[in-house]
Structure formats: structure tokens, C-alpha cells
Structure 1
């Protein structure tokens, strides 16, 4: 069965060439098939589109009107197909990523740089938020992928762990004598603690682990960013629960020290998240490959 789009393609070819035989050659069709297609379109529209003459055909007034719209539409389809090829070849397009400030700063930037060096025509859009906020943005279509603190319990999301991290506690000069020897978690929580705010996935992971050990926490401070945790600990306002891999600069320079615990909090991961129900774009696929497979 010939589609309506095919009929309009035949119509436009005949309109341009003013010849059934020429249109048939360009479309790799027989002349009777072209003639039949035009008759079918005229029947469906109940309008004569061409004047038939011994020298060929010419558009009627109605045919001229239709040709302007049909030809424009077909040209736009061709442009759309070309754009799709550009997207597939990563010569144009946009990559929308959801990520928190800390993961962006300490993990994601080298991967953004590597991707941009290979595909400079792909535009980045970055949305910031907590893991919970990013999952919501992801499910609403606001971003293509999100880089989040795992674990996440959501069956609609595909989760790809890609970087292992360790939660730990750090302190400043004031607490050096108190923390000179290893402590248990039960002993640690008796000291003034600094945590991320309760809606943070990192906070929830550590707090859930402590609860599983029968330990409740009542932080002195609850802060909105990892950098603030480090700064508050540095000026001796308490002992901060931080991500060790994102605190190395402070530890290496001796600005903070790490609490020696008798038992470590289990390690977890930073990972790439995307909707199971929506295929990744070529740009998103390539970016996930870089994050998963390359050591930068």
C-alpha cells in the first residue's frame, strides 16, 4: 500500500519536472506507477492537480498551491534526516547532565573535558541538585543522565556504578588529643558532629548504617555542601562526616586529620543513572562509555 507521504513525494517530483516520465526515472518507478499515484492523490483530495498536455503536464492553480506546502514539508523532512545523521555522528547536539556540586568538582570535570575534546560541537547543559532532586529531574526529562551518590532504590532507573568512595570522619587541631587513638562508632557519636543535611543521599547512607548498629546521631551542624563540612571541621566546630576521596587536598596539606575508626563504614559508589524506559541519545551513550571505561 502506497503511503500518503509517498504520494506527495511523487507529486513534488512531477511538479518539478512537469513530466511523468522524468519523475519516474528520478524515483526509479515505472511511468504507469507515477501516473497511478497522481490519480490516487487527486481522487483522495477530490481536486485536479495537473493539466495533461501532449508535451507533458503543468500544475493547476490548486496544484500550485499544494506544491508550495508539500515541497516545503518534504524539504524539511530531508533537513530533519540530515540533522539525525549529525546527531548520530556527534557533529551537533546537546548533552544534559544532572550532577551535584561536589561530584562535579572532584569527579566529573575530567570526563567533561575528555568528551568535549573529542566532540567539541556537542553543547553541555548542567543541572545541579541533590541525588533525590536529580532523580526527579531525570524522570521529568530535564536531563539525559545524572551522576549521583549510590545506592538509589528506584526500579525505573538504570544504575551504573563507576567510582568507589569511602565515607569517613575528619577533624581539626582542637580534637587531636581526643582522637589520638582509634575510636569505635559508639564513642565517636558522643563528640560534636557535622553532617550534610538530612535530604542528602550521602547523609542517609551513613545514618542508615549507624542505625543498623543501634547508633542514633544528633549533629551539631547540618550543612548544604561538602566544602562547608571541610571548612567547619578546619575551624574546629566539630568532626565532619565527609567523602575521603573528595577531601584529599585537606588531608594531604595537613589542614585536617582522619579519624581512625575501629570499623570502617562500608564503601559505596558514585554512578551514572538514566531511565530504563528511554533509550540514551548517541551523545549520552558515548559519555557513559567514557565515564565507565576510561581512567583519567
Structure 2
């Protein structure tokens, strides 16, 4: 297993180098190696990639979907050029972090919990209901765990998932109350399929960030891609 781990990393470097070398003979062509978290991809990144590709058709974007911790590890190993992921970061050492946009986590429920629509409940009350959340290997879950600990509570979901894409179907089918991002639930809320649960305590916003490793030079096409994200979505904090 140890040998395979080292070989797999080496192979990724070799395959990446082969792709870049293959483009040298083609004028103005380049590759941006992008690692994106599911939340970032779901929230806005796909639309931005499509727009960037339309404006720069000769720049190929190679996308790997990975968690924030895995993306940061890949950056430090020079397996990707840029990570577009969600905060917070456990270790910011050696990272260049550009905040792109704010991200608001909310609590949402299906119409089977309609008796909660006109109520305001606390986190202490919320833990009594069946909860749906991501596994504790994700940045989102660790962030929520931290919030609950601040209120002397332990977040113990009834359903733990590996992908954010599975949360919405389960919430809509009343299998529990879920934690999701407002940007990706807005349409379903407006359609009346789910509703936002009013929580007394504030859930602080997070950020979607474009991150590079300071130990490596940022290639011009990569910087162009980052700049395009900042121009369209940049926020001040």
C-alpha cells in the first residue's frame, strides 16, 4: 500500500507533464489543472468554467472533484495548479488564498416538517430531530461540528453522506432535516418543495476561495483563470 501511494503520485506527475509537453507545439494552448470541492462546483464553478472556456478556447481546464483537505494536499504536491474550495482551512501555511464569494449554510426541511415553518428553534431543539449531514471527513461537516461545539452540543446526524448531491433528495423526501447552502437551495425553496428552518443562533457565512501554493510559480493561464473568477464574483471581507 505504501509503494502504491508513492507510485500513484509519480504517475500523476508524469501524465500531467506529458499533457503539457504535448501542447508545446500548439501555439497559445495550455492546461489549467483545477481541483474543486463539490460545494464550489455545485454553487457556481461550472458556470464560470463554461464562460472561461468560451472566452479562452485554447486553454484546457482539467477538473478533479475533491474535498478541500485533499485539494490542499494536491496543491502542495503540485498535482493541481489551483484549488477552488470552501473555507475554513486547518492550515494556511504556504497558501495564497483569494476570496471569491460568500457561502451561507442553512438548515432546510421538506414539507413533512411543515409544522416548523412558522417557528424559530434553537440548535438545542434541532438536535432532537433526524438530521442529514456530510461525513466528518469534509470541511463542511467539520465547520458545522465546530459551531455545535461552541453551543456545547454534539452534532450526531441520523444520516451521514459522502456527497452534498445526496442531501437535497433526502430532505425533499422527508428523511430528515438537512444542512445545505442557500445558493443551491433557493430554487427549491421558491418552488415550495422545501423550506428554510428558522434557527435562533446565527450560522456564520463561509467563503469559496481560489487557492494556490506559494512555493510554485503560478502559470499565466492559471492566473488568467483566477482573475476571471475574481472579476465576476469578488467580495470584500
> Residue 58 of structure 2 aligns to a residue in which SS?
coil
Q: Cα 1:223–1:246, aligned 2, differ >3 Å: closer, same or farther? A: same
Match status 1:168 vs 2:143: no
Greater RCO, 1 or 2 (C-alpha within 8 Å, sep 6+): 2
Provide the residue aligned with 2:62 in structure 1: 125
The farther-off stretch of 103-112 and 211-220 is 103-112
Unpaired segments ≥5 residues, structure 2: 1-20
Match of 1:204 among 122, 138, 142: 142
Match status 1:135 vs 2:80: no
Deviations 1:141-190 (CA, angstroms, capped at 9, x unpaired): 11100111111132121111111011111001111114531111111111
Match of 2:30 among 78, 93, 96: 93
Whether the 8 Å contact between 1:167 and 1:206 is mirrored in structure 2 is no
Once residues 110 and 51 of structure 2 are traced to their aligned partners in structure 1, the CA distance between those partners, rounded to angstroms, is 36
Once residues 141 and 163 of structure 1 are traced to their aligned partners in structure 2, the CA distance between those partners, rounded to angstroms, is 25
Q: How many residues align?
A: 212
Deviations 1:207-249 (CA, angstroms, capped at 9, x unpaired): 1011011111111000112221111111111100111112122
Q: Cα 1:213–1:164, aligned 2, differ >3 Å: closer, same or farther? A: same
Whether the 8 Å contact between 1:102 and 1:225 is mirrored in structure 2 is no
Query: Which aligned pairs between 1:217-228 and structure 2 lie closer than 5 A?
Result: 217-228=155-166
Match of 1:245 among 153, 172, 183: 183
Match of 1:151 among 88, 97, 103: 88
Give the TM-score taking structure 1 as reference length: 0.68
The farther-off stretch of 263-272 and 245-254 is 245-254
Provide the residue aligned with 2:50 in structure 1: 113
Once residues 132 and 26 of structure 2 are traced to their aligned partners in structure 1, the CA distance between those partners, rounded to angstroms, is 51
Once residues 85 and 255 of structure 1 are traced to their aligned partners in structure 2, the CA distance between those partners, rounded to angstroms, is 50
Give RMSD over aligned pairs: 2.1
> Residue 104 of structure 1 aligns to a residue in which SS?
helix
Provide the residue aligned with 1:213 in structure 2: 151
Provide the residue aligned with 1:255 in structure 2: 193
Unpaired segments ≥5 residues, structure 1: 1-79
Q: Which structure dedicates a bigger proportion of its chain to strand?
A: 2
Once residues 93 and 273 of structure 1 are traced to their aligned partners in structure 2, the CA distance between those partners, rounded to angstroms, is 19
Once residues 25 and 98 of structure 2 are traced to their aligned partners in structure 1, the CA distance between those partners, rounded to angstroms, is 27
Query: Which aligned pairs between 1:53-64 and structure 2 lie closer than 5 A?
Result: none
Whether the 8 Å contact between 2:67 and 2:138 is mirrored in structure 1 is yes
Report deviation, 1:105: 3.1
> Residue 207 of structure 2 aligns to a residue in which SS?
strand
